[in-house]
């Protein structure tokens, strides 16, 4: 689903990515970014720096063309690298994505999938248009959006973007890219897998 979101919402092919988190999901996303988009520059941030360094080393071993740099999580609020995509893959209960993200960076929240979990700061959610994988699921599971008390009238389902029901150009709020929030939905995961497989087969 993340790859489909990037393909749909980012107006260019990504070449760099910042991942927040070092778990299984983060490794799978890193591999997918390399294989699907050809991303070669990664920054990886987490609280445990030795684990982050090990994650970067393992990523470079799997993909020798990749440069992966570990970052202490506390630096993100003050020294955020300029990247095409920023993806949070944590089960945090406090925001891990910085409040100030470059307007041309697509910020994506993947890990928080319960009402008490938060990856996006409220200020960023109120400053950007919001796209979700599943509107119904987000109402009950997207803790970031629930706790930020977002106006659900300005939350768009990615299905509406893909079908043309929602105007993609209108999602650029004040010239900034939207944010993308996923909570998981089986039919979308299946569809995204098919899109990725078809693209890799070309």
Note the pTM of the prediction, 2 decimals. Answer: 0.90
Q: How confident is the model at residue 196 (pLDDT cuts 50, 70, 90)?
A: low
DSSP string of 154-188, one letter each residue: GEEEHHHHHHTSS-GGGG-BTTBPPEEE----HHH
Q: Is the torsion defined by CA of 12, 18, 22, 23 positive or negative?
A: negative
Q: Based on C-alpha coordinates, what's the Rg of the chain?
A: 16
CA atoms within 13 A on the CB side of 163: 7
Cβ distance 123 to 146 under 8 Å? no
Residue spans per domain, the chain: 2-192
The pLDDT assigned to 198 comes to 72
Residues 6+ apart with CB under 8 A from 35: 200
- Domain 2-192 - what CATH class? alpha beta
Residues 91-113 have pLDDT tens digits of: 999 999 999 999 999 999 998 88
Residues 2-61 have pLDDT tens digits of: 999 999 999 999 999 999 999 999 999 999 999 999 999 999 999 999 999 999 999 999
% of the chain residues with pLDDT over 90 = 79
185-193: average pLDDT:
59
């Amino acid at each position: 689903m993340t790859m489909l979101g990037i393909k749909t919402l980012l107006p260019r092919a990504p070449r760099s990515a910042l991942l927040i988190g070092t778990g299984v999901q983060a490794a799978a996303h890193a591999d997918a970014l390399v294989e699907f988009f050809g991303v070669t520059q990664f920054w990886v941030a987490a609280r445990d720096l030795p684990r982050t360094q090990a994650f970067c080393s393992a990523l470079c071993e799997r993909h020798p063309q990749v440069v992966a740099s570990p970052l202490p999580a506390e630096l993100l609020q003050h020294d955020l690298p300029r990247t095409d995509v920023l993806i949070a893959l944590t089960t945090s209960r406090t925001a891990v994505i910085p409040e100030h993200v470059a307007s041309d960076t697509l910020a994506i929240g993947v890990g928080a999938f319960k009402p008490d979990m938060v990856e996006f700061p409220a200020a960023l959610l109120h400053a950007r248009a919001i796209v979700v994988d599943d509107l119904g699921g987000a109402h009950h599971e997207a803790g970031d959006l629930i706790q930020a008390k977002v106006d659900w009238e300005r939350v768009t389902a990615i299905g509406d973007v893909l079908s043309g029901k929602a105007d993609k150009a209108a999602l650029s709020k004040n010239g900034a890219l939207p944010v993308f929030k996923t909570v998981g939905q089986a039919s979308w995961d299946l569809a995204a897998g098919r899109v990725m497989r078809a693209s890799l087969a070309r």
